[in-house]
Chains A and B, each alone.
Chain A
Amino acid sequence: MTSHAPNITATPAAAPEQRGHFLAGLAELRKRLAATRPDVVVMFVNDHVQNFFYDNLPAFCVGVGARHWAPRGAADFLKIPSRQLPGAVDFGKALLKAGLDAGFDLAVSHELEFWDDVSVPAHFLMPEGTLPIVPVLTNCVAPPLPTPSRSWQLGGFVRRFIDARPAGERVALLGTGGISHWIGVPNTGHINPEWDRWVLDQVRDGRGEALAELSFDDIERDGGNGGQEIRNWIAVLGAVPGVKGEVLTYEPVKEWLTGCGAAWMHL
């Protein structure tokens, strides 16, 4: 799992020491991800009122497109060259169908253009841009939101889906977002390292359920409106219950407006 924040790439000169530490953590995450030789990466991410507006805003959505812009319109701002990441169409469609069969009311999109949610992590973790991805989006930005508990259940379903796939297929799970941040609200820029470290302790100790039991209000109070993105981490944790994680880096970066962490789950 990793945080995403536009300023990580948009303002490369800011917070050099913290940036160095965080990017070193991402470099390690990239190495470990590559070493697992995945055939597909399921990315638990969230839109930022970019793809989905209030005229049609899903709680959950599976991206089954053959290609995903990450980024396109945001390229200049993010300072990431515009590119498309390949999708895993058959896998994505199978995941969608299995999810609906299992009682998860998943929406679908065949065309997505990502902001920092995919673009920033992919820039560092999948620089070659050849690994097929299946984005699974959770509404974390336009309340009312699906519950963290539902994200945990969704992760559990994705795990069962993967376990039932053909032997030999290798699937990575990557959740992006969080940790604490307050964005566009009156105390924009506030970070809560205490909450961030508590979240990371649960990850480290295999206590994902503690995160799944959080309420919207708990997160809004302690992690900010941006903290609601922790649902993407919770989904990954729901796929590997009880597994202990390793925190690769944590930096509360004022200039990025975000408490940024990255962690690897040891299977």
Chain B
Amino acid sequence: MSDYALNQVLYAKAREHKMIDSIGADEVAGYDLSAEERAALADGDLDALFRLGANPYLIRRVFRRRFAV
């Protein structure tokens, strides 16, 4: 569990250039993530992702439509 794995997930998703609200358990099965990181991805929890060390540009590109602006 580290922000490297968290960013790996987001980077892979960002390269799909799709807008989504959640990255579910089935999509992150192979990654070394903590329970908190998995929850943040599944919930599209922007603040938690930032707090957990996800790169803000990746958070924005993947979960763009979950932002108020």
A: which residues have CB within 8 A of B? 48-50, 53-54, 73-74, 76-77, 141-142, 183-186, 188-189, 225, 254-255, 257
Contacts and interface: CB of A to CB of B under 8 A. Distances in A.
Contacts of B31: none
B69 A184 contact: no
A99 B14 CA distance: 32
Nearest to A256: B69
Nearest to B11: A53
A185 B49 CA distance: 9
5 contacts: A49-B58, A77-B17, A77-B19, A185-B50, A186-B46
A10 to B, nearest CB: 10
A50 B58 CA distance: 9
Interface of B: 4, 7-8, 11, 14-15, 17, 19, 46-47, 50, 55-61, 67-69
A243 to B, nearest CB: 32
A54 B7 contact: yes
A184 B17 contact: no
Contacts, number: 54
A31 B7 CA distance: 41
A208 B67 CA distance: 34
A183 B17 contact: no
Contacts of A53: 7-8, 11
A65 B54 CA distance: 30
B7 A225 contact: no
A73 B17 contact: yes
Given A53-B11, A183-B56, A189 B67 contact: yes
Contact of B50 (A50, A186, A257): A186
Contacts of A225: 56
A229 to B, nearest CB: 11
Nearest to A183: B60
Contacts of A76: 17
A47 to B, nearest CB: 9
B57 A184 contact: yes
A89 to B, nearest CB: 26
A73 B15 contact: yes
B16 to A, nearest CB: 8
A73 B15 CA distance: 7
Given A54-B4, A189-B69, A184 B11 contact: no
Contact of A184 (B4, B15, B56): B56
A49 B47 CA distance: 19
B65 to A, nearest CB: 11
A193 B14 CA distance: 30
Contacts of B7: 49, 53-54
Given A49-B57, A225-B56, 12 more contacts: A49-B14, A50-B15, A53-B7, A53-B11, A76-B17, A142-B55, A183-B57, A185-B50, A186-B47, A188-B60, A188-B67, A255-B69
B11 A49 contact: yes
Contacts of B47: 186
B14 A184 contact: no
